[in-house]
């Protein structure tokens, strides 16, 4: 394998591979070939082989891939081996749902701090996390949290973002329906639910 820039599209698929490998392992499978693996994920087998080959020669010709080994490698590449401490800003309906979302824990993410500006919510404990006033975002620095989830209204999102960057956040999962401006070192991933549903009618018949 020679060095090449790893495509973003590859990185997007790796978590899917991790989840599927986890299922295979739970099923007691120890080996898998690219054909069967790809079929389970509805992707092209060559795609799987190329994606994996960016990171090393994980497979054995004539045999396939060792489920456990590839799983370990991918977790390592994605930096999911150690707990990723995460802060949540905005504990409305969506934020509350995210606080209890089991998918995060499965991937080794832990929400260790939550913030809101509603006096009625501050001090309340939800899913073992005490909701703090947004004025106390400094707690993020103390707790050395580097990842934040933004679930506030769009008007507030940019200001919150800037304060999050100040206290050391370098990765943001943004649920607010707006574009965030951040320094180059900070990575933002946007989840814009309304934008996704908005293109659904286009594809429908009649």
Partner DNA sequence: GTTTGTGAAGATATTCACAGCT
Partner DNA sequence: AGCTGTGAATATCTTCACAAAC
For position 160 contacting its own copies by CB under 8 A, the verdict is no
Q: For DNA, give the closer residue by CB, 63 or 189.
A: 63
What residue 170 binds from its own copies, DNA, none (CB within 5 to 8 A, per partner kind)? its own copies
For position 94 contacting its own copies by CB under 8 A, the verdict is yes
Q: Is 126 helix (H, G, I), strand (E, B) or coil?
A: strand
With 0-12 / 13-18 / 19 or more C-beta atoms within 10 angstroms meaning exposed / middle / buried, residue 58 is middle
Q: Are 95 and 151 in contact (CB under 8 A)?
A: yes
| Helix intervals (H) in the chain | 8-26, 34-41, 45-53, 67-77, 93-99, 102-106, 139-142, 154-166, 193-198, 200-203
For position 46 contacting DNA by CB under 7 A, the verdict is yes
Neighbouring residues of 34: CB distance < 8 A, sequence distance ≥ 6? 45, 46, 48, 49, 59, 64, 65
What residue 149 binds from DNA, its own copies, none (CB within 5 to 8 A, per partner kind)? its own copies
For position 40 contacting DNA by CB under 7 A, the verdict is no
Phi, psi at residue 37, to the nearest 5°?
Answer: -60, -45
Candidate residues 50, 81, 141, 187; the one interacting with DNA per rule CB under 7 A: 50
Q: For its own copies, give the closer residue by CB, 11 or 46.
A: 11
For position 10 contacting DNA by CB under 7 A, the verdict is yes
Q: Is 191 helix (H, G, I), strand (E, B) or coil?
A: coil
Site residues for its own copies per CB under 8 A: 11-12, 14-16, 18-19, 41-42, 77-80, 84, 86, 92-94, 96-98, 100-101, 103-104, 106-107, 109, 146-147, 149, 170-173, 177, 179, 185, 187, 189, 191, 193-205
Site residues for DNA per CB under 7 A: 1-2, 7-10, 33-35, 43-47, 49-50, 52-53, 57-65
């Amino acid at each position: 394998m020679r060095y090449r820039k790893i495509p973003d599209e590859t990185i997007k698929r790796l978590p899917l591979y991790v989840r599927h490998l986890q299922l295979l392992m739970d099923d007691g499978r120890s080996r898998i070939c690219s054909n069967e693996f790809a079929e389970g994920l509805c992707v092209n087998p060559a795609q799987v082989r190329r994606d994996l080959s960016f990171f090393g020669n994980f497979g054995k010709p004539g045999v396939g891939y060792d489920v456990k080994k590839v799983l370990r490698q991918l977790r390592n590449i994605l930096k999911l081996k150690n707990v990723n401490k995460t802060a949540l800003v905005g504990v409305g309906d969506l934020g509350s749902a995210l606080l209890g979302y089991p998918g995060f824990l499965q991937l080794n993410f832990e929400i260790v701090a939550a913030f809101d500006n509603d006096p009625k919510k501050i001090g309340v404990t939800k899913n073992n996390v005490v909701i703090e006033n947004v004025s106390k975002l400094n707690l993020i620095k103390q707790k050395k949290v580097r990842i934040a989830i933004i679930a506030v209204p769009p008007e507030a999102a940019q200001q919150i973002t800037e304060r999050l960057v100040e206290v050391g956040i370098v990765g943001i999962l943004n649920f607010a329906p707006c574009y965030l401006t951040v320094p180059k070192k900070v990575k933002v991933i946007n989840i814009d639910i309304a934008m996704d549903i908005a293109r659904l009618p286009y594809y429908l018949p009649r």
